[in-house]
Amino acid sequence: MTGPLVEIENLRVAFRNDDGGWNDAVRGVSFSLGREKLGIVGESGSGKSLTGRSLLGVLPDYARISADRLRFDGIDLTTASPKLRRSLRGGRMGMILQDPKYSLNPVMNVGKQIVEAIRIGDRKLSGAEARRQAVASLEAVQIRDPERVMGLYPHELSGGMGQRVMIAMMVVREPDLLIADEPTSALDVTVRTQVLSIMDELVTRRGMGLIFISHDLNLVSKFCDRVIVMYAGRIVETLDAKNLHAAQHPYTRGLLACLPSIDGSLEPLPTLTRDATWLEAAP
């Protein structure tokens, strides 16, 4: 496969507000992604989730999107037909949402939801074969007793199990790209590691590209190869995860300084003071 998996240049997303003007939520984001793990870090409102959703084409129709370049595997997403974009979703690009309590359909059991994903990929597949594949996908995310889980409803699943079901559902058609939007934020800390290791293993084994969106800088730096820091709709810094401590931008440094460390000083943690200049475009 030639060329990067994802190419984004000057992405802009805006929403109409009450007075008739536009709120710019994403202002000129550019990056590209290969078969690697990229983390996007930022606070609420930084535009990180919107960037992911723009790729997938699931923004509401009252949003306005524009980009100089928005490409997936060479396909120009800005000119692609809705039908093409729909076929890419699930098949070649998957997305995991934050909380399985809400992101799974409460009145359909796990089996039906995964089978639906499989059959969207191959309509001619028999019910029995689809079911078999669904069970296999649950095994792939390390769910013990997958046959029993197939018949469970989302409210009968624990947080970690629900999130693993979500992962299974989104990778079952073997997409090339996986976007994880705060995949562990709703989980207990003890469960997070397990879910992350499952994601890591899947992504590495299948050679997928991963965009990991989170507000947790620490987590992202440990899990990803590269990190992008977003603030107020713009990218303020891009660096390799292992070079995080050498970050230049004051916002990133501020975030790093807020993180407590077990052998750090006993002084109160510094609070981030925001500089209005960060709202302007980087030179």
Of residues 1, 21, 58, 204, which one binds other proteins by CB under 8 A? 58
Residue whose token pair is 């084994």: 205
CA-CA distance, 95 to 277, in Å (whole number)?
Answer: 33
Measured from the CB of residue 128, what is the shortest distance to other proteins in angstroms? 21
Minimum distance of other proteins from residue 94's CB (angstroms): 7
Q: Closest Cα partner for 209 from 56, 33, 32?
A: 33
Whose Cβ is closer to other proteins: residue 156's or residue 275's?
A: 156
> Does residue 252 contact residue 237 with C-beta atoms inside 8 Å?
yes
| Residue 238: CB atoms within 10 Å | 13
Asked whether position 94 contacts other proteins by CB under 8 A, the answer is yes
Among 214, 191, 186, 198, residue whose Cα is nearest residue 102: 186
The answer to whether the CB of 282 falls within 8 A of the CB of 235 is yes
Q: Closest separation between CB of residue 102 and other proteins, Å?
A: 4
Q: Does 207 bind other proteins (CB under 8 A)?
A: no
Closest approach of Cβ 121 to other proteins, in Å?
Answer: 8
DSSP string, 197-213: HHHHHHHHHHT-EEEEE
Give the distance, in angstroms, between the CA of residue 281 and the centroid of all CA atoms in the same chain. Answer: 24
User: Would you give the distance in Å from CA 135 to the centre of its chain?
Assistant: 24
120 binds other proteins (CB under 8 A): yes
Residue 283 binds other proteins (CB under 8 A)? no
Least separation in angstroms between residue 237's CB and other proteins is: 28
Stretch that binds other proteins, among 95-103, 128-136, 229-237, 255-263 (CB under 8 A): 95-103
- Interhelix angle 159-171/189-206, nearest 10 degrees: 10
Q: Does 95 bind other proteins (CB under 8 A)?
A: yes
CA 16, CA 13: separation in Å to the nearest integer?
A: 10
Closer to other proteins by Cβ: residue 172 or 228:
172
With CB under 8 A as the rule, give the number of residues binding other proteins.
34
Q: Which stretch binds other proteins (CB under 8 A): 69-77, 164-172, 214-222, 267-275?
A: 164-172
Q: Which of residues 169-198 bind other proteins (CB under 8 A)?
A: 169-170
On whether the CB atoms of residues 25 and 50 are closer than 8 A, the answer is yes
Give contact residues for other proteins (rule: CB under 8 A): 15, 18, 56, 58, 60, 62, 86-91, 94-95, 97, 99, 102-109, 116-117, 120-121, 153, 155-156, 166, 169-170
